[in-house]
């Protein structure tokens, strides 16, 4: 049993020395990858051939819509083929950031706030020479501002995004709860707690609220759509003058997020994704993209503004859009594909699949869901009351753009992590201060992400 | 605690026999509870894969085999239906290819090195072997990040998923201990028959040390089939995504389809489970010999 | 059950009483290095080189594929890891999680492995089936294990574990958020890890049990030792080194902890802090946040810890020598 061979017992200084020497030898055989200095060098190319497209792996319906749009594109002309690759959302930013410039695709999907980081790292090219003027002119203002970095447009979007508390009217009525329908009337956080108490008595499991925990607060969902609106509505921000200390860890944020976490006891974890449609919960805090599923409730489906933490209800705006890889060798073809993506038909196909507000002017005007009197008018109204970025929030504006900085990846990582910790019951001040210091350290290490 | 050795002599007597029967009954009871703990998650996986998604997470009724259908399996294939999302079969092929390359490569390369260390004479051998022994303590985790930095240019290839795991210090060591036991007369006989070192090794030594190869093959297989950390770092592209990474992504899709996730998991594990059931004693033998030798 | 491999089968070649020639396989003086070189080159490139690279990188502020050049900053990454209040707290916390994991898992899993080995080491009808069930999790990849257990631990009454506990307690035990609550998150990871890996240790202990000479038990029972005394005086000393070996591989395993934690921390609303391990932090820092230099420094510290454990392993086994 357990005979240790002699040679094994003899490990000593000699062995260590030998290890080091061979290691040194071996090191000469390797070296870190060269870091390519940024710069976009798009070539117009022949305008034909195959273009590579990267996109985030979304909901099944979104993926199918995208494939349909691509199929339409390929059948509408014969010169350009599309090679689509989907990446899981939590890997996407990393896939782009760790791709060597020559491996970048011709066309890529990106989430609004990651654009600044991609541009800073030299991953993206401006669109003005490749995409048609009509396409650019047809973009709604809010999406255009999301896609602009240093006065250059890097992206075009098919859709915008909106958040709401989706309500089950039957359950709300059953509990005798009156609900607000305009941003001005939004429940205050305290009122909201009372509402939850009432609703808890009418739902089967006693947990009437769905906060979309299944998306994970520690990911982008946390920053964009959960912690973000809470923070902004409470009068706080994540960054102030490019610093998180004094902003993210403010008393206002501590108070708002602690309040938010206190609703955990009313919250169904929704691990099966069926909490709302099966009538287990009366309220669901989630984005437009569940509309195609939620509309199964028919006339019982109502949209309610998120709770007001003191400075008016707030929602996040901005979402995935499309841009071009910095080293594309086929700019003309890529531009044609982007033009096709932004056509009314493509935008309609896509937004029908996920219920999103269209981000092109013509498609928005023709929308069957958004606009006066239509079922999702409320989401559209929220978007039209745009605040711009965090530092320009007022009490009456509703939709806020997430921080525009090349350091956004660390911001979202830390904010999400802090929210998950607070939600798990940890001290909010501690969690937020730690997140703020980590963000500031990262900014300092990168010289504030200045060019 | 009962120490149950069949050889333990009994002092006889009727009461003793009754106690023994009780002991046996108790033994079975404990065994059953323990076996249930180990088996229930497996059962849940397999039964859940045949039940409608919305009934997978539904308390104790998740265990009840009702409403069984193949819908979830069909769903997995429908859901993973293009190059963009990847295909289940593609994930499986990637896993199979990578694992096969690693296991086969590891058997050849490490056994040759071990043979050289155990049976051949050459300058520098002792120092190098000592080094290999020292390297057995470095787990892959310790070098994963710098390795990712070194080979980031090779991301999303099959080759980079396999190559780093072929040479393995512990496998060399295992082979070494087996080769030490080979009687010198056998090599001598081969030499007299005019066999060179290659022929001696491949035609004489390998056939008589098959258990060593089985051991290394099984241990390498178990480690490689479930490999997760390295694919997390190196694979973004669905076309070269191995099964462990694929299931971690698949289970995170929204809205969740738990029945499909369990169907995916069942297809991931059942072939391996079948092989395990057939070759159970080999698995057991290789694991125990990894400790005895190590 | 055969638990030991016969190292060699007798070859059908008659032994010849001839002295071995001096040069071994003479006439092929390059055969030795040639045989060894593929493996050695592999180890040099994929183990030694990255290890040395980790040391080098830990002195730089460096990102992958970034337009910013790497900057030499000496020991700053290490200074930060130990003195920056947040970083050192987070890193310390991750280390603490690893230690907690080890402190619980090592004794529990070693004792469980021993208990299970004793349990199945008896010739009873149907034992093969019981063994098969107990061995089964062995072939489960950790990624799959985490997915199954994620559902078992699911919060709310729908979760399997909550339902089982509620059923057996008659509803007295309320539903827990096993993975989401800081007080149970690590424990939940521990249970699933034990489920997956205890049979590995158990098989090793079982082989050891079966190799304790029967005569020792006979001698002990002649001395009128009862079964517990036999167990403590014959069995345990007989497999002492195996138990040490099992405890130490479990310790090292505790520090390598990654797959389940990383996968689960990205699924649902888990509080990452309460389950963060050194490995998840290395990957989170170096890969997710592209702070390669910092992660390299953590890697070096990780390596030092593993080395210390390995040295303790040698020392512990050597103390009484191989049995």
For A5-43, b/e burial (b = at least 16 CB within 10 A) is eebbeebeeebeebbeebbeebbeebebeebbebebebe
Vertex C261 angle, CA B81 and A444, to 5°: 100
Q: Indicate which of A3, A25, A26, A57 best probes the interface with B, i.e. most B CBs within 10 Å of its own CB.
A: A57
A163 Cα to chain B: minimum distance (Å): 17
Question: Between A26, A100, A421, which is nearest C65 by CB?
Answer: A100
In this prediction, residue B42 has a pLDDT band, given cuts at 50, 70 and 90, of very high
Find the helix or strand (DSSP H, E) in which A444 lies. helix A428-445
**pLDDT tens-digit readout, A170-226:** 999 999 999 999 999 999 999 999 999 999 999 988 899 999 988 888 888 899 999
B81 Cα to chain C: minimum distance (Å): 22
Q: How far apart are CA A328 and CA B236, in angstroms?
A: 20
Residue C149: predicted pLDDT: 93
For B168-185, b/e burial (b = at least 16 CB within 10 A) is bbbbbbbbbbbbeebeeb
Residue B104: predicted pLDDT: 97
Residue C1: predicted pLDDT: 34
Note whether A26 contacts B: Cβ–Cβ < 8 A: no
**pLDDT tens-digit readout, A158-167:** 999 889 999 9
Q: Is the pLDDT of residue C244 over 70?
A: yes
Question: Between A205, A213, A434, which is nearest C269 by CB?
Answer: A213
Q: Indicate which of A74, A83, A86 best probes the interface with B, i.e. most B CBs within 10 Å of its own CB.
A: A86
Q: How far apart are CA C59 and CA C42, in angstroms?
A: 26
| More confident of the two residues C13 and C93 | C93
Note whether A94 contacts C: Cβ–Cβ < 8 A: yes
A358 sits in the region (left: phi over 0; alpha: psi -120 to 50; else beta) called beta
Distances (CA, A) of B46 to A224, B40, B264, C192: 37, 10, 10, 18
Sign of CA dihedral A224, A228, A232, A238: negative
Order of strands, sheet of A386-389, starting from the edge strand that comes earlier in the sequence: A315-317, A399-401, A386-389
Please state the φ and ψ torsions of residue A85, each to the nearest 5 degrees. -125, 135
Vertex C290 angle, CA C254 and B241, to 5°: 70
CB A41 within 8 A of CB C67: no
Residue A140: predicted pLDDT: 87
How does DSSP assign A130-158, residue by residue? Answer: TS-HHHHHTB-HHHHHHTEETTEE-EE-S
Question: Between C13, C42, C47, which is nearest B143 by CB?
Answer: C47
* Domain architecture of chain A: domains with CATH: 49-160+318-367 (3.40.190.10), 163-317+388-449 (3.40.190.10)
Note whether A442 contacts C: Cβ–Cβ < 8 A: yes
Q: Which residues of A touch C159 (CB under 8 A)?
A: 271
Residue A20: predicted pLDDT: 42
Note whether B219 contacts C: Cβ–Cβ < 8 A: no
Burial class for C300, CB neighbours closer than 10 Å (0-12, 13-18, 19+): buried
* Nearest residue in A to C4, CA atom: A1
Cβ within 8 Å of residue C122, ≥6 positions away = B4, B5, B6, B27
Q: Is the pLDDT of residue A29 over 60?
A: no
- Of chain C, the end-to-end C-alpha distance in Å amounts to 23
Distances (CA, A) of A413 to A216, B120, B260: 12, 55, 30
Q: Do the Cβ atoms of C302 and B142 come within 8 Å?
A: yes
Q: At what angle do helices B210-225 and B280-293 cross, to 10 degrees?
A: 100
Q: Is the pLDDT of residue A266 over 90?
A: yes
Q: Which residues of A touch C154 (CB under 8 A)?
A: 269, 271
| More confident of the two residues B260 and B191 | B260
CB A159 within 8 A of CB A358: yes
* Nearest residue in B to A20, CA atom: B131
C-alpha dihedral (C262, C263, C267, C272), degrees to nearest 10: -10
Strand duo A399-401 + A315-317: pairing: parallel
C208 Cα to chain A: minimum distance (Å): 7
Question: Average pLDDT, whole number, for chain C?
Answer: 83
Please state the φ and ψ torsions of residue A360, each to the nearest 5 degrees. -110, 145
In this prediction, residue C319 has a pLDDT band, given cuts at 50, 70 and 90, of low
Q: Is the pLDDT of residue A21 over 70?
A: no
Q: Per DSSP, what are the bridge partners of residue A152?
A: A149
Q: Indicate which of C37, C211, C269 best probes the interface with A, i.e. most A CBs within 10 Å of its own CB.
A: C269
Q: Which residues of A touch C63 (CB under 8 A)?
A: 35
Vertex A368 angle, CA A363 and A370, to 5°: 75
* Nearest residue in C to A16, CA atom: C307
Vertex C164 angle, CA C158 and C168, to 5°: 135
Q: Do the Cβ atoms of B185 and C16 come within 8 Å?
A: yes
Q: How far apart are CA B145 and CA C58, in angstroms?
A: 11
What does the pLDDT average to over C185-209? 91
Q: What is the CATH number of domain B88-250?
A: 1.10.3720.10
**pLDDT tens-digit readout, A51-96:** 999 998 888 888 889 999 999 999 999 999 999 988 887 778 878 8
How many C-alpha atoms does A435 have within 13 Å on its Cβ side? Answer: 31
* Nearest residue in B to A66, CA atom: B84
Q: Which residues of A touch B82 (CB under 8 A)?
A: 67, 84
**pLDDT tens-digit readout, A371-406:** 888 888 888 888 888 888 888 899 999 999 888 888
For C158-193, b/e burial (b = at least 16 CB within 10 A) is bbbbbbbbbeeeeeeeebbbbbbbeebbbbbbbbbb
Note whether A25 contacts B: Cβ–Cβ < 8 A: no
Task: Give the single-character DSSP code of B40.
Answer: H
Residue A361 has a CB neighbour count (10 Å cut-off) of: 13
How does DSSP assign C259-289, residue by residue? Answer: HHHHHHHTSSS--HHHH--HHHHHHIIIIIS
Please state the φ and ψ torsions of residue A102, each to the nearest 5 degrees. -75, -15
A120 Cα to chain B: minimum distance (Å): 20
| Nearest partner of B72 among B56, B85, B61, B59, judged by Cα | B56
Name the CATH superfamily housing domain C84-320: MetI-like (1.10.3720.10)
What does the pLDDT average to over A39-59? 83
Helix, strand or coil, per DSSP, at residue C219: helix
Q: How far apart are CA A395 and CA C168, in angstroms?
A: 52
| Nearest partner of C180 among C172, C171, C167, C189, judged by Cα | C189
Q: How far apart are CA A221 and CA A121, in angstroms?
A: 23
Q: Is the pLDDT of residue A355 over 70?
A: yes
| Nearest partner of A38 among A326, A405, A334, judged by Cα | A326
Q: Which residues of C touch A421 (CB under 8 A)?
A: 271-273
Question: Average pLDDT, whole number, for chain A?
Answer: 86
| Nearest partner of B58 among C154, C18, A370, A349, judged by Cα | C154
Q: Is the pLDDT of residue B6 over 60?
A: no
**pLDDT tens-digit readout, C33-82:** 999 999 999 999 999 999 999 999 999 988 877 767 788 988 999 999 99
Burial class for C147, CB neighbours closer than 10 Å (0-12, 13-18, 19+): buried
C26 Cα to chain A: minimum distance (Å): 24
Helix, strand or coil, per DSSP, at residue B227: coil
Q: How far apart are CA A423 and CA A427, in angstroms?
A: 9
| Nearest partner of A157 among A50, A55, A78, judged by Cα | A55
| Nearest partner of C291 among A131, B63, A409, judged by Cα | A409
Find the helix or strand (DSSP H, E) in which A401 lies. strand A399-401
B246 Cα to chain C: minimum distance (Å): 10
Distances (CA, A) of C75 to C54, C56, C154, C210, C323: 13, 11, 44, 52, 45
Note whether A411 contacts C: Cβ–Cβ < 8 A: no
Q: How many residues does chain A have?
A: 451
Q: Do the Cβ atoms of B7 and C218 come within 8 Å?
A: yes
Task: Give the single-character DSSP code of A407.
Answer: T
Sign of CA dihedral A348, A351, A355, A359: negative
**pLDDT tens-digit readout, C259-269:** 999 988 877 65
Burial class for A204, CB neighbours closer than 10 Å (0-12, 13-18, 19+): exposed
Q: Do the Cβ atoms of A32 and C181 come within 8 Å?
A: no
CB C144 within 8 A of CB B44: no
Question: Between C36, C144, C152, which is nearest B247 by CB?
Answer: C144
C191 sits in the region (left: phi over 0; alpha: psi -120 to 50; else beta) called alpha
Give me the total of CB pairs closer than 8 Å, taking one residue from chain B and one from chain C: 381
Q: Which residues of A touch B126 (CB under 8 A)?
A: 7
CB C50 within 8 A of CB B146: yes
Residue B1: predicted pLDDT: 38
| Domain extents in chain C | 84-320
């Amino acid at each position: 049993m357990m005979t240790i061979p002699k040679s094994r017992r003899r490990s000593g200084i000699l062995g260590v020395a030998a290890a080091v020497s061979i290691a040194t030898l071996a090191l000469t055989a390797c070296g870190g990858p060269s870091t390519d200095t940024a710069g976009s060098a798009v070539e117009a190319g022949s305008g034909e051939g195959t273009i590579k497209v990267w996109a985030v792996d979304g909901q099944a319906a979104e993926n199918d819509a995208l494939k349909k749009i691509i199929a339409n594109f390929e059948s509408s002309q014969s010169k350009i083929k599309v090679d689509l690759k989907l990446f899981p959302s939590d890997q996407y930013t990393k896939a782009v950031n760790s791709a060597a410039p020559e491996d970048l695709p011709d066309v890529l999907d990106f989430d609004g706030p990651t654009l600044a980081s991609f541009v800073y790292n030299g991953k993206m090219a401006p669109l003005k020479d490749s995409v048609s003027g009509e396409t650019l002119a047809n973009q709604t203002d809010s999406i255009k501002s999301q896609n602009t970095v240093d006065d250059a447009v890097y992206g075009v979007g098919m859709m915008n995004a909106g958040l709401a508390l989706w309500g089950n009217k039957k359950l709300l009525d059953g509990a005798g709860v009156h609900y607000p329908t305009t941003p001005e009337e939004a429940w205050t956080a305290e009122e909201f707690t009372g509402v939850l108490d009432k609703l808890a008595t009418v739902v089967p499991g006693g947990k009437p609220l769905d906060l979309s925990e299944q998306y994970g607060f520690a990911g982008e969902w946390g920053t964009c759509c959960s912690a973000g609106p809470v923070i902004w509505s409470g009068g706080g921000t994540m960054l102030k003058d490019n610093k998180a200390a004094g902003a993210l860890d403010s008393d206002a944020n501590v108070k708002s997020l602690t309040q938010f976490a206190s609703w955990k006891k009313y919250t169904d974890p929704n691990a099966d994704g069926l909490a709302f449609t099966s009538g287990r919960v009366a309220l669901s805090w989630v984005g437009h993209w569940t509309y195609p599923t939620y509309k199964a409730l028919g006339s019982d489906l109502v949209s309610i503004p998120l709770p007001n933490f003191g400075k008016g209800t707030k929602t996040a705006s901005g979402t995935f859009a499309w841009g071009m890889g910095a080293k594309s060798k086929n700019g003309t073809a890529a531009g044609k594909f982007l033009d096709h993506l932004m056509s009314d038909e493509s935008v309609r196909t896509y937004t029908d699949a996920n219920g999103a507000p269209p981000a092109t002017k013509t498609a928005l005007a023709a929308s069957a869901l958004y606009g006066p009197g239509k079922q999702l008018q409320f989401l559209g109204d929220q978007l039209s009351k745009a605040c711009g970025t965090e530092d320009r929030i007022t009490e009456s504006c509703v939709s806020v753009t997430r921080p525009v900085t090349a350091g956004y990846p660390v911001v979202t990582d830390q904010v999400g992590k802090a929210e998950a910790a607070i939600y798990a019951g940890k001290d909010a001040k501690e969690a937020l201060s730690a997140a703020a210091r980590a963000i500031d350290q990262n900014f300092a290490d990168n010289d504030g992400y200045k060019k | 605690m009962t120490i149950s050795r069949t050889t333990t002599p009994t002092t006889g007597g009727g009461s003793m026999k009754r106690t023994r029967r009780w002991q046996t009954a108790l033994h079975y009871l404990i065994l059953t509870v323990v076996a249930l703990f180990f088996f229930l998650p497996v059962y849940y996986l397999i039964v859940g894969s045949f039940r409608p998604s919305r009934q997978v997470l539904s308390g104790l009724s998740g265990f009840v085999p009702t409403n069984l259908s193949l819908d979830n399996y069909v769903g997995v294939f429908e859901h993973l239906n293009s190059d963009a999302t990847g295909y289940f079969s593609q994930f499986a092929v990637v896993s199979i290819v990578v694992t096969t390359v690693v296991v086969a490569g590891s058997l050849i390369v490490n056994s040759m090195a071990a043979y050289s260390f155990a049976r051949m004479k050459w300058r520098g051998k002792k120092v190098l072997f000592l080094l290999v022994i020292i390297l057995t303590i470095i787990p892959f985790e310790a070098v994963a990040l710098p390795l990712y930095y070194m080979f980031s240019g090779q991301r999303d290839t099959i080759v980079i998923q396999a190559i780093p795991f072929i040479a393995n210090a512990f496998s060399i060591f295992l082979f070494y201990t087996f080769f030490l036991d080979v009687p010198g007369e056998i090599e001598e006989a081969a030499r007299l028959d005019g066999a060179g070192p290659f022929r001696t090794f491949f035609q004489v030594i390998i056939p008589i040390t098959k258990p060593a190869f089985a051991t290394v093959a099984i241990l390498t297989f178990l480690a490689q089939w479930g490999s997760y950390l390295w694919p997390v770092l190196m694979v973004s592209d669905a076309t070269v995504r191995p099964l462990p990474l694929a299931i971690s992504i698949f289970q995170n899709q929204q809205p969740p389809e738990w029945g499909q996730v369990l169907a995916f998991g069942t297809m991931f594990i059942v072939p391996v489970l079948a092989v395990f059931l057939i070759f159970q004693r080999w698995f057991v033998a290789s694991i125990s010999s990894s400790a005895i030798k190590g | 059950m055969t638990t030991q491999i016969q190292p060699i089968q007798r070859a059908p070649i008659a032994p010849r009483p001839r002295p071995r020639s001096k040069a071994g396989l003479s006439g092929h003086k390059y055969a030795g290095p040639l045989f060894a070189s593929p493996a050695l080159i592999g180890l040099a490139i994929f183990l030694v080189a990255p290890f040395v690279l980790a040391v080098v990188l830990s002195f730089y502020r460096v990102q992958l594929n970034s337009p910013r050049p790497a900057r030499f900053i000496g020991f700053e990454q290490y200074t930060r890891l130990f003195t920056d209040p947040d970083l050192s707290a987070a890193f310390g916390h991750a280390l603490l999680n690893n230690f907690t994991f080890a402190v619980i898992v090592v004794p529990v899993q070693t004792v469980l492995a021993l208990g299970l080995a004793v349990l199945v080491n008896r010739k009873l009808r149907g034992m093969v089936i019981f063994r098969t069930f107990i061995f089964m999790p062995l072939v489960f990849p950790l990624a799959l294990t985490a997915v199954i257990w994620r559902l078992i631990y699911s919060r709310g009454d729908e979760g399997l574990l909550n339902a089982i506990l509620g059923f057996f307690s008659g509803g007295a035990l309320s539903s827990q958020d096993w993975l989401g609550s800081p007080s149970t998150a690590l424990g939940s990871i521990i249970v699933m890890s034990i489920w997956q890996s205890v049979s590995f240790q158990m098989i090793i202990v079982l082989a050891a049990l079966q190799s304790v000479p029967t005569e020792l038990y006979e001698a002990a029972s002649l001395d009128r030792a009862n079964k517990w005394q036999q167990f403590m005086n014959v069995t345990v000393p007989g497999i002492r080194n195996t138990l040490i070996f099992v405890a130490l591989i479990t310790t090292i395993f505790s520090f390598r902890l990654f797959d389940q934690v990383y996968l689960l921390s990205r699924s649902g609303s888990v509080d990452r802090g309460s389950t963060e391990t050194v490995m998840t932090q290395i990957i989170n820092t170096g890969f997710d946040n592209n702070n390669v230099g910092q992660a390299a420094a953590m890697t070096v510290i990780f390596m030092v810890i593993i080395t210390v454990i390995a040295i303790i392993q040698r020392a512990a086994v050597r103390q009484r020598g191989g049995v």
